[in-house]
Amino acid sequence: MIKNDQKSSLKEGVAYGSRQGEMTDFRDEVRAQLTEEPSSTLKPVARTEVSVIPTDTIAKLREQVTVVIPTLNEEEAIGTLIEEVKAAGYNNVLVVDGYSKDGTRKIVEPRGVRFILQEGAGKAGALATGFRSIATPYVAVMDGDGSYVPSDMDRFLPSLARFDFIKGVRNWKESMSRTHRFGNYIITTTFNLLFGTNIGDICSGMYMIDAELARQLDFSKHPLTAEQEIIAQAVLASAKITSVPINYRKRFGGKSKTHTWRQGFRDLVTNFDLARTHNPILLFSFLATLAILPALFFLGYALFQFLAHGNFHGGYVLAGLSFLVLGAQGFTVATIASMLRRIERRLLQAQRQS
């Protein structure tokens, strides 16, 4: 049987769905307005300031964005966060709750925003539920702990005319420990190497995405590492991806739902599993490239023995050369695979625009 909360969310979805055609037409209109803006008003993607666009266009764009906030026992943060989102000019707010045991629901409901219970496990289940329940052309996501600044969503708006997925890159120097910064660097670098991308902050929980793309995402395989899954599938779909700088602050209260080392290891394993699923040639050629490391060891040891003691170790030289050839072949294949993937993405993007 369907619970009352799920029935109400379905009814709301139908009501929102009746406006889908109108909002889609408006999305095209706004994109045209942004594209027609003089190039001087649209600053480069790697900017530190918000691009200048007309105030009325910003207001219209805000109404075309639904802010999805996944929550789980966030009673200390969610009330203040919702007020900040509204103060930033975003009135379409959807809180997707993972069956909180505290007072999260009691705090959310009086504030005039939509509240539904998630289906499925983890943050991925909350996002999938939220993406199915919206009807605006765009969706923004932010965590419910208050660590992200809602007004930063305006930084995403100028890029909506040209990109399908805009990722927030956190300024974490003051609000994140060195351990977290190092772990995020390893995870982000590994993902970029395996997928041939150049994204600054894979694990960031604040981003904006085209709603049509969001509804096509499949979270069934990695329910606890939603951010990597989203980007991997967006890359596979040849979506246009960019990033903008955002602020990051300490959570308003409560405890983090993840264990630092356990979540970091899970994220790293997910990177390799996603590459195995979506880009296996690049993954295995990348692993073969690592053979260069033992090659350098064996050749270096043989050279040291020869120069220091006059001993020639043919076995070490042979082993080193074998690993070197394997590593060179892996590097070559990885480079070719990365280039072919980029060409494929550009062709698909050109096909979508034609």
**Which residues of the chain carry a pLDDT beneath 70?**
1-52, 174-175, 254-260, 349, 352-354
Q: Which helix H or strand E contains 329, and what residues bound it?
A: helix 314-353
Q: Identify the pLDDT of residue 276.
A: 85
Q: Identify the pLDDT of residue 45.
A: 36
Q: Identify the pLDDT of residue 82.
A: 97
C-alpha 77/C-alpha 128 separation (Å) is 22
Q: Identify the pLDDT of residue 282.
A: 79
Query: Quick check: 68 and 141 in contact, CB under 8 A?
Result: yes
The partner residues of 248 in beta bridges, in order of sequence, read 148
- CA neighbor of 139 nearest in space, from 84, 90, 103, 188: 90
Q: Identify the pLDDT of residue 143.
A: 94
**Tens-digit pLDDT profile for residues 118-173:** 998 889 999 999 999 999 999 999 999 999 999 999 999 999 989 999 999 998 77
Query: Quick check: 215 and 131 in contact, CB under 8 A?
Result: yes
C-alpha 144/C-alpha 72 separation (Å) is 8
C-alpha 72/C-alpha 98 separation (Å) is 5
The partner residues of 96 in beta bridges, in order of sequence, read 70, 116
Structure tokens at 185: 């660097």
Query: Quick check: 147 and 257 in contact, CB under 8 A?
Result: no
Q: Name the amino acid, one letter, at 28.
A: D
pTM higher than 0.85: no
Per CATH, which fold does 4-278 belong to?
Spore Coat Polysaccharide Biosynthesis Protein SpsA; Chain A (3.90.550)
Angle at the Cα of 352 from the Cα atoms of 351 and 353, rounded to 5 degrees: 90
Structure tokens at 323: 């690993």
Q: For tokens 């700088």, what's the residue?
A: 245
Q: Identify the pLDDT of residue 309.
A: 87
- Nearest-Å Rg of the Cα atoms of the chain is 24
DSSP string, 87-104: HTT---EEEEE---SSSH
C-alpha 272/C-alpha 290 separation (Å) is 15
The partner residues of 141 in beta bridges, in order of sequence, read 68, 207
